[in-house]
Amino acid sequence: MAVLLRALLRPGRPPGTLGRHPGQREASLCADPGAPVRVRFAPSPTGFLHLGGLRTALYNYIFAKKHGGTFILRLEDTDQTRRVPGAAENIEDLLAWAGIPPDESPCRGGPAGPYLQSQRLELYAQAADALVRTGAAYPCFCSPQRLHLLKKEALRNRQTPRYDNRCRNLSQRQVAQKLASDPKPAIRFRLDEEAPAFQDLVHGWTRHEVASVEGDPVVLKSDGFPTYHLACVVDDHHMGVSHVLRGSEWLVSTAKHLLLYRALGWRPPRFAHLPLLVNADGSKLSKRQGDLMLERLAAAGFLPDALLDMVTNCGSGFAENQMGRTLAELIAQFDLSRVTCHSALLDLEKLPEFNRLHLRRLVSSETQRSQLVEKLQVLVEEAFGSQLRGTAVLDPAYVERVILLRQGHICRLQDLISPSHAYLWTRPAVGRAQLGAISDKVDVIATRVLGPLTHWPSSRLLEGCAASLTQDTLNAELRRLSEGLAGTEHSHVMKLLRMALSGRQQGPPVAEMMVSLGPEEVRERIQKVLCS
């Protein structure tokens, strides 16, 4: 701050000549075409990562990987009053969980660190000093109370609040006098110049004359922390960011950023302002929407690839709109020139179907399936504990058989520990009276079923191996069994067996239940009901 104060008392050159390069054209406002691709995801740790943030991070990641570039995570933690404890760590952990870890970050480090803005204050002070020395910025001594009154008056008159630039024309003597009583003023950037047009990679050629509608913005606060406008420009420059892919809410502010680049004599990156991801009703996503939080979705059993697939499927950037794309396919197929300006509607009701597709893909892989078996074993033990019918239900072969049989009927692995699937892990409490209410031929049906079970073709089945059993074979046998029972409908036989095996009136097909449980457990359950 001492350096900055000295700069405040030195005469500067006229602001109208700041950063101008002879013959510079607006069309040249772009990153060096030969420079390596470096992009950044720069969230504020004022909340935990939600689907909107994941989508912005994903677009940056797949753009970087498609072009052999670098994906940077930078945390914009300059607003210390709003920082949420644990949010910074949560963001990086969840990016790794989602399969899109940064190449450079606060945890991983990197050549352009530190990656926390609160640790880069000296860089911002140097930039502010440079702006003040050239007359592009000036100290502002206005109190918070005065600024509040300006805003209140503007709103009362139904006008857009803006700073009235009161301090921009203070003389050197006035500045010196005020510094004596207020040695830490805020620094404001002069919006004198005509804002340059720039070619946004999504919105095309764009220009916003911010000076005509806004007052001079604060770039460095009195506490030494920068505002977003200065911090993002300084950091993107020093980190060598080649492309800025961020939400379209920052499109208008880009004019200010380009003016800052010009005043500092730096080449700006290319900009691509992504359309917003909005709720199905068109409202903006909020960090307060708990059902959008990545941590909660992960805990609920939704897969990373399903989330990545959904947030890209509802937007643009691809030749075809299809479900089921993997991260590798997203990278290969992504085309920034295909991103449109239209907001992307997020329909969370479709997430279960996306998850079903990606869960089936994991099941089809032997390596991934073994990992699912391990996860389901943990879920089952946590959910049922002492209620388990024995350690046999945690046997990997049994758990794998359950997953293979149910894969087309569930959306999440957690569905297999829901009440409708509890019969797979615990023995239901079913009384003979419950079966009698369905049919008066309980004993006959049980005898017909238990008879064939003891004579199923392979003796291996009695040893617990049900691999040779198929639903088709059992369905045919059960159909013949029903046909041999005069006056009894097949549906009643199925209802009775389903109740005996699961304790429920509805559920998976009876043949599937029998294949899942195996002949020994099926016999055990039916005999238990007969003896009750």
- Chain-wide mean pLDDT for the chain? 87
Average pLDDT rounded to a whole number, residues 135-150: 94
Helix boundaries (H) for 265-323: 294-299, 304-313
Torsion of Cα atoms, 487 then 490 then 495 then 497, to 10°: 100
- Residue whose pair of structure tokens reads 């709720």 in the numeric block: 279
d(CA 110, CA 527): 66
Residue 477 confidence (pLDDT) above 60: yes
d(CA 528, CA 522): 10
Average pLDDT rounded to a whole number, residues 125-153: 95
- Say if strands 38-41 and 70-73 run parallel, antiparallel, or are unpaired: parallel
Residue type, 337: S
- Within 8 A by CB and 6+ apart from 232, the residues are 42, 76, 244, 257
pLDDT number for residue 7: 54
pLDDT number for residue 459: 32
Average pLDDT rounded to a whole number, residues 401-418: 96
Average pLDDT rounded to a whole number, residues 252-267: 96
For residue range 23-32, what is the model confidence (pLDDT) as tens digits? 333 333 345 6
Residue 461 confidence (pLDDT) above 90: no
d(CA 444, CA 430): 18
Q: Degrees (nearest 5) of the Cα angle 112, 117, 120?
A: 65
Select the highest-mean-pLDDT range: 267-276, 311-320, 434-443: 267-276
Greater confidence (383 vs 461) lies with 383
Q: Is the peptide bond before 268 cis (omega within 30 degrees of 0)?
A: no
In which band, very low, low, confident or very high, does the pLDDT at 462 lie, cut at 50, 70 and 90? very low
For residue range 219-238, what is the model confidence (pLDDT) as tens digits? 999 999 999 999 999 999 99
CA 278 to chain centre: 13
B/e letters for 76-101, b = 16+ CB within 10 Å, e = fewer, are: bbbbeeebeeebbebbbbbbeebbbb
For residue range 181-197, what is the model confidence (pLDDT) as tens digits? 888 999 999 998 788 89
* C-alpha gyration radius of the chain: 33
Longest dimension (CA), the chain: 110
pLDDT number for residue 480: 86
Contact 80, 118 (CB under 8 A): yes
The token pair that represents 516 in the structure block: 């899942």
Torsion of Cα atoms, 325 then 328 then 332 then 334, to 10°: 60
Q: What pTM did the predictor assign?
A: 0.86
Average pLDDT rounded to a whole number, residues 65-78: 96
Average pLDDT rounded to a whole number, residues 415-437: 92
pLDDT number for residue 10: 53
Residue type, 309: D
Q: Which residues are catalytic?
A: 287
Residue 348 confidence (pLDDT) above 70: yes
List residues bridging with 277 in a β-sheet.
344
Residue 351 confidence (pLDDT) above 60: yes
Residue 14 confidence (pLDDT) above 50: no
Residue 497 confidence (pLDDT) above 60: yes
pLDDT number for residue 451: 66
